Structure 1
Amino acid sequence: MFRAKIFQLFSNCRTLSKSGFLLQSILTIPQQLKMSTGNSPLTIGTHSGIFHCDEVLACFLLRQLPQFSDAKIVRSRDENDLKQCEIVVDVGGVFDKNKNLFDHHQKSFNETFSSLRPEFPNYNIRLSSAGLIYTYFGEEVIQKILKDKCDLKVDSKLLKTIFEKVYRGLIQEIDGIDNGVPMFEGEPAYQISTDLSSRIGRLNSVWNDTGSFDVQSQFEKAIVVVGEEFIDRVTYYGSVWHPARSIVQDAIENRYNVHSSGEIIFLSQICPWKDHLCDLETENGLDGVLKYVLFCSSATDYRVNCVPINPKSFVCRKFLHKEWRGVRDADLAKISGIKGAIFVHATGFIGGCKTREGALEMAIKSLNADGESL
């Protein structure tokens, strides 16, 4: 942490060297700081023993910053070892951002994403070390990844959007799992074991392993795994997800050209639409209005997708006609009266037709039919 302070001092004193004040400032630096100004790489401290997804991701994030790009990771619980590190995560029993100490295990720690960043409300899960590092350094990391991987330079508004999306879609999950926060009350209907935290956990030594185990090598392997996941998420939001917003916006603006109800839209291109639709509805005072989204899957395959009550839900505002569900091809065309009808899913959340006109008819008839409507 001391060398990082030295770097900050140099950057703040660029105009002072001509007058001799820079030399005077360096001479007044405490001896402990001066001892840290050699050519050895900066060090990131974290705990030894079994590693977890949160400190692995915290280390990855720090290594994306220019000052820590070549940092050595010291895994220890020895206080003397950790004191020599420029930054410490997930160990030490102290959270003090000004001293680069980022532990979250102490009883006094109750910080959340929203408590440290009030501009992002309603995130109430206690932070892990990954969440802490992301809260303070995530925006800088995202900017660097988008520039390096996608040659994208994002403005402050888009950066804020992606920053929150990555927290909500990835970091919050790691915070919750590391702190033992259940996703909901009661027992789940099934278990998920392919999540990132589980994959990292399986890189640790197993109880009955009789061979040699290189924990440092496995820790570095874990950093690669979480890094690929994080980079994939950031680049997706920046170069794939966000550009779709304009397509959804155009579809909403032209909804009355599709049907007089204004409850059906047609996407000019197939794209990620659910999050954007929800956000744009709220921005335009249209919450809950849209029921069906039409798009072209291929030249002879047009789809009608029911709008869910929220982007992650399997419950839709109005499902397709209940008599069509699970029926296909000629049988579906017969009972629906829609030429070229291909299928309707058994749950009624999506259907297909050979033509755009047929897909639109499928949506209109479902809109006017009795059935589940929220």
Structure 2
Amino acid sequence: MAPVKNGRHLFNEIPVGYPVPGKTTVYDDSQTIDLDTVQLNGGILVKALSFSIDPYMRGLMRPASAKSYSPPYTIGEPLGNHGVGVVLRSENSSFKPGDHVWAYFPFQEYIVQTDVTNVRVLENKENLPWSTYVGAAGMPGQTSYLGWKVCSKAKKGETVFVTTGAGPVGSIVAQLAKLDGLKVIASAGSDEKVEFMKKIGVDVAFNYKTTDTVKVLEEHGPIDIYWDNVGGTTLEAALDAANTFARFIECGMISQYNQASPYGVKNLMNIIAKRLSIHGFLIFDHMTPENAKEFYDTVPAMIAKGDIVFLEDKKYGLEKVGEAILDVQSGKNHGKSVIVVAEE
């Protein structure tokens, strides 16, 4: 077979403020690959189907000198994130052509994966769309499910406040909380998202852009659990609204990711006065083999039965990656942001 185009989406420059499509990141189709002869070196050749676009990707668009919990993207190299693909060729006995796999992949159409340590074969007994495995049945779902299980210590009758309650993580947290018998307060940034939160059972759903968060929490709190995806003034409001011994699960702070000067929370004394527990949560600390088995045995079946409902915001083609990243950072996406590279 003659070489074919291997489109990629590259990190082009470090942004100041919001990433700019076509400038911060660029699509490149100059690379080709011979699918029959490319050397696998004991690995696998994967055709990409779907990639996840997540808020944390903004934090990887930084100088190499700026240290964090994950290494930064490299200028001139493809972006990376969790994706689903299908194996075309294999030199590893754990994988065979036709297997669908999930892993952290570079953003390109075809991938030679030599390190298969963290590549997972997806059984998909429920016959879910493959894009589900970069969303509700992927890393965002893992974050929601295990974060809630590990950190919430939820008790029936308690009250939880969930930010980005219509998003891929927040919406699942809200549904898990309802299944556990909690009262759920949740915020989002549009009236359309508020309607979705109501449909999934949120008790008090509001648009934080048009409704005062402080007043909502004063009326419907106090809160026993706070799931934080935004930080900033909302975190400050939650600290004031917290019950004694409340649990704060710090999962993200998207309101601060594109700010030159992060907001300084002023009421941290509440942590001491109210004896709050603060849990910083990153999913890779908790994806043990046992937890991974529980997640894949449990959550896809819940999705198939309708116990967990989710929205997807699909864009087609690697050319759309920059646009999707900006949508997520600015809150314009409606549901889990997914890049569909190929249907099969």
TM over 0.5: no
User: Which structure features the higher share of helix residues?
Assistant: 1
Which structure has the larger Rg?
Answer: 1
**TM-score normalized with structure 1 length:** 0.23
User: Which structure features the higher share of strand residues?
Assistant: 2
**TM-score normalized with structure 2 length:** 0.24
